């Protein structure tokens, strides 16, 4: 009885809690959306993909225009005044509807063969790319045929190249940009003058050539080169034009420059953060943003600079859930930021509407692009309150604060967004401020310090006031371990003589070598986690001390052991202790120079970053030279033998790693076997 009572009480409380929480949290469309929305948490290359609030939610779908349905539609264009033009490829016509899907008109029947691309200009001329008719056909918005453009007969077009237009876009001047099937020369640019003048190829995709190919080609004769498979650039798959007349193209099968924004010279001026293997369409948004969709149904939204804002959507697995697609062909955006996706497999247009979150982001994009940085901070702050990891918002905040000359905040936000360029700029300004305020004081302090030092030196010479301290220092210096550690400095400058000392004069011991290795590990860790943000290779706030210490120790011990083993069978004369100590002493340049580099890294910007990278390379080179000389001198072998020993050591280390891996795998098997037996025993015997 009692238990039942408590149970029912618990249930009541749970229900109450659920009710209250549902009241407290604002109603979001999370549950209704059949896909997840992702974004990047940093604007650099070093980002993580994170889940975020739904950016767009599916609102409805248009399956029929009035009473007529469309079949295998390949393209769609949404005009500013709110009409959808659909290239109804299967029915060989152009369908026009309003944004709700009400029938307006249709035309082109009998003229068009396979209309696969459609574009409508601002003065309502409808350009249709017809692949099988091999023509571009122009209608007015009443459906009357105005003009036709066939294959350009310009010599530069190429006589043997066919004219198979599949996608088209037109700029303000009436110049047509046409993507032709199997034409790898680029986008065909045709001007309307004199019945269609070929202006040239535009925006050719880059081809990639590997280093090996370049070297092979260098040694080939022209005849041999001609026989090789031509390295042709891929044809773009779709294109769009924005208000400024910049052309966007998408190309499938590429890992870089899938999405390109071309300037008037046909050069790419945008580097998108993300890529897709099967992009099919692209359209500019209303806020200098751009949407790219893949045929799988993923929609990418990028800002002006190619930073990913959102990616959402996905492939329908046959359950026909609204919001997922099967084979997307075209994308469009209307004045109210609704996204329209044309699906040729499901024969429908799906409409997505932006959430409050996205509206805020668009507002921020708009304000920022107009240069109203201070105002753009407000929507950005709201976005960050909803998702504090949103990479673009953090970056934009950093930039906005930089514009406002609030450098502390700019540093804070650009650090969150891992935006090194902004961080560096803000840091530059801060440093400049500091120098301006403290230059004279620093100068005076240096002068005073130098004079004081000079006075003390003088007094010491005259009266010997520092004799006691000097005595103390010399006592410390005479301690064995201190002399051994100080020997590292000598070793670093005179490796040949230093190796002799290690070998014959007992200048080192395991103890001193271990101290040097420990200092090396400590400096390594400090440098890894506490160096300036600009030079950090790990993300902020991540620590993995165990593996840092472990990896350095393992590498050092394995290499030393392997080297010892290899040396002993190759006439090497050094003992294990000598090799161990000399290797440890070879790390001295790092210990001596790295602290200086560390301090420098704290005060330099990206502009002076070469100071840090250059010193690090110098340290590496120095250490390698020391190791080489140490191996040679401690073992008393020739240069040729040293090279051989080094190669063999690396090989032995590789074998050792392989061995460890095999043992690990075998043990794993044994372990699995034992746990399986244990599990079985427990199960059978019923413990």
Partner 1 sequence: MRKSTSISRRDNNRNGYFFLAPYFLLFFIFILVPVVIAIALSFSNFNAIETPSFVGFLNYINLITKDEIFMQKVLPNTIVYAIIVGPCGYILSFVLAWALSQLPKMLRTIFALIIYSPTMTGGVAMAVLWKIMFSGDQTGYINSWLMSIGIINEPIIWLVNTNYLLPIVIIIALWNSIGGIGFLAILAGILNSDETLYEAAAIDGVKNRFQEMIYITIPNMKPQMLFAAVMSIVGAFQGGLISTQLTTNPTPGYAAQLMVNHIEDYGFIRYEMGYASAVSVVLLSIIYIFSKTSKKLFSEN
Would you tell me which residues interact with partner 1 (CB under 8 A)? 209, 214, 217-218, 428, 432, 435-436, 439-440, 607-608, 610-611, 614, 639
d(CA 545, CA 555): 16
Structure tokens at 617: 């390379």
> How far apart are CB 632 and partner 1 at their closest, in Å?
12
> How far apart are CB 504 and partner 1 at their closest, in Å?
17
Closest CB to partner 1 among 436 and 462?
Answer: 436
DSSP code at position 220 = S
d(CA 57, CA 38): 14
Closest CB to partner 1 among 522 and 618?
Answer: 618
Closest CB to partner 1 among 174 and 200?
Answer: 200
Helix axes 576-586, 510-530, angle to 10 degrees: 30
> How far apart are CB 217 and partner 1 at their closest, in Å?
6
> How far apart are CB 428 and partner 1 at their closest, in Å?
8
> How far apart are CB 68 and partner 1 at their closest, in Å?
49
Helix boundaries (H) for 302-419: 356-369, 373-386, 391-403, 407-416
Closest CB to partner 1 among 329 and 633?
Answer: 633
Residue 578 · residue 546 · CB < 8 Å: no
Residue 14 · residue 29 · CB < 8 Å: no
Closest CB to partner 1 among 30 and 614?
Answer: 614
Query: For residue 28, what are the contacts with CB-CB under 8 A and spacing of at least 6?
Result: 53, 54, 355
> Between the CA of residue 167 and those of 170, 450, 552, what are the distances in Å?
11, 76, 57
d(CA 359, CA 301): 13
> How far apart are CB 488 and partner 1 at their closest, in Å?
17
> How far apart are CB 402 and partner 1 at their closest, in Å?
15
> How far apart are CB 470 and partner 1 at their closest, in Å?
21
d(CA 175, CA 582): 73
Closest CB to partner 1 among 214 and 685?
Answer: 214
> How far apart are CB 491 and partner 1 at their closest, in Å?
16
Residue 209 · residue 215 · CB < 8 Å: no
Backbone φ and ψ for 68, nearest 5 degrees, come out as -90, 140
> How far apart are CB 427 and partner 1 at their closest, in Å?
13
d(CA 589, CA 597): 12
Tell me how far the alpha carbon of residue 485 is from its chain's centroid: 45
> Between the CA of residue 151 and those of 135, 375, 386, 505, 522, what are the distances in Å?
7, 52, 54, 88, 71
d(CA 415, CA 532): 11
Closest CB to partner 1 among 219 and 687?
Answer: 219
Radius of gyration of the chain (CA): 35
Closest CB to partner 1 among 214 and 665?
Answer: 214
Closest CB to partner 1 among 79 and 605?
Answer: 605
> How far apart are CB 639 and partner 1 at their closest, in Å?
8
Closest CB to partner 1 among 345 and 437?
Answer: 437
CA angle 371, 375, 377 (to 5 degrees): 100
Q: How many helices (H) and strands (E) does the chain have?
A: 17, 27
Closest CB to partner 1 among 540 and 608?
Answer: 608
């Amino acid at each position: 009885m009692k238990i039942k009572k408590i149970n029912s009480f618990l249930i009541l409380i749970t229900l109450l809690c659920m009710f209250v929480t549902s009241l407290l949290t604002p109603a979001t469309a999370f549950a209704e959306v059949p896909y997840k929305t992702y974004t990047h948490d940093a604007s650099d290359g070093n980002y993580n993909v994170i889940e975020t609030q739904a950016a767009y939610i599916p609102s409805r779908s248009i399956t029929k225009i009035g009473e007529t349905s469309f079949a295998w539609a390949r393209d769609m264009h949404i005009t500013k005044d709110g009409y959808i033009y659909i290239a109804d490829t299967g029915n060989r016509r152009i369908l026009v509807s309003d944004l709700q899907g009400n029938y307006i008109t249709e035309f082109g029947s009998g003229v068009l063969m396979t209309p696969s691309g459609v574009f409508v200009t601002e003065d309502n001329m409808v350009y249709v790319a017809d692949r099988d008719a091999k023509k571009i056909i122009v209608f007015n918005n009443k459906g009357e045929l105005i003009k036709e453009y066939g294959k350009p007969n310009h010599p530069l077009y190429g006589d043997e190249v066919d004219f198979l237009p599949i996608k088209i876009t037109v700029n303000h001047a009436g110049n047509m940009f046409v993507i032709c099937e199997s034409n790898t020369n680029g986008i065909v640019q045709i001007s309307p003058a004199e019945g269609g003048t070929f202006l040239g190829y535009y925006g050719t995709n880059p081809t990639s050539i590997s280093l090996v190919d370049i070297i092979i080609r260098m040694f080939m004769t022209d005849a041999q080169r001609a026989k090789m498979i031509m390295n042709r650039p891929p044809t773009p798959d779709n294109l769009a034009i924005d208000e400024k007349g910049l052309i966007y193209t998408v190309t499938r099968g590429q890992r870089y420059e899938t999405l390109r924004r071309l300037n008037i010279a046909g050069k790419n001026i945008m580097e998108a953060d993300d890529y897709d293997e099967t992009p099919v369409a692209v359209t500019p948004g209303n806020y200098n943003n751009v949407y790219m969709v893949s045929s799988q149904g993923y929609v990418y939204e990028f800002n002006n600079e190619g930073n990913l804002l959102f990616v959402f959507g996905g492939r329908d697995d046959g359950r026909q859930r609204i919001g997922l697609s099967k084979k997307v062909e075209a994308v469009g955006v209307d004045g109210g930021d609704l996204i329209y996706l044309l699906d040729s497999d499901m024969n429908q247009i799906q409409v997505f509407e932006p959430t409050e979150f996205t509206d805020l982001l668009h507002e921020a994009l708009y304000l920022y692009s107009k240069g109203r940085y201070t105002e753009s901070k407000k929507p950005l702050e709201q976005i960050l309150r909803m998702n504090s990891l949103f990479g673009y918002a953090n970056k934009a905040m950093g930039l906005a604060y930089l514009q406002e000359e609030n450098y502390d905040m700019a540093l804070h936000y650009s650090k969150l967004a891992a935006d090194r360029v902004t961080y560096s700029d803000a840091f530059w300004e801060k440093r400049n401020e500091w120098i301006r305020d403290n230059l004279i004081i620093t100068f005076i302090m240096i002068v005073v310090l130098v004079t004081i030092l000079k006075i003390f030196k003088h007094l010491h010479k005259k009266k010997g006031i520092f004799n006691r301290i000097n005595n103390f220092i010399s006592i410390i210096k005479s301690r064995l371990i201190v002399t051994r550690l100080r020997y590292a400095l000598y070793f670093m400058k005179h490796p040949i003589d230093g190796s002799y000392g290690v070998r014959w004069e007992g200048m080192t011991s395991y103890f001193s070598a271990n101290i040097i290795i420990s200092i090396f590990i400590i400096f390594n860790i400090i440098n890894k986690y506490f160096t300036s943000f600009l030079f950090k290779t790990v993300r902020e706030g991540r620590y993995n001390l165990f593996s840092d210490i472990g990896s350095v120790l393992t590498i050092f011990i394995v290499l030393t052991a392997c080297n010892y083993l290899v040396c002993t069978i190759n006439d090497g004369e050094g003992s294990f202790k000598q090799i161990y100590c000399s290797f440890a002493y070879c790390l001295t340049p790092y210990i001596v120079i790295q602290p200086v580099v560390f301090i420098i890294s704290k005060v330099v910007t990206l502009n002076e970053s070469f100071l840090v990278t250059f010193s690090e390379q110098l340290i590496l080179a120095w250490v390698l030279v020391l190791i080489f000389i140490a191996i040679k001198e401690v073992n008393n072998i020739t240069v040729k033998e040293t090279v051989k020993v080094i190669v063999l050591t690396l090989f032995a280390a590789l074998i050792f790693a392989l061995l460890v891996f095999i043992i690990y795998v075998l043990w794993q098997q044994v372990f699995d076997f034992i746990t399986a037996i244990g599990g079985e025993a427990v199960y059978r015997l019923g413990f």
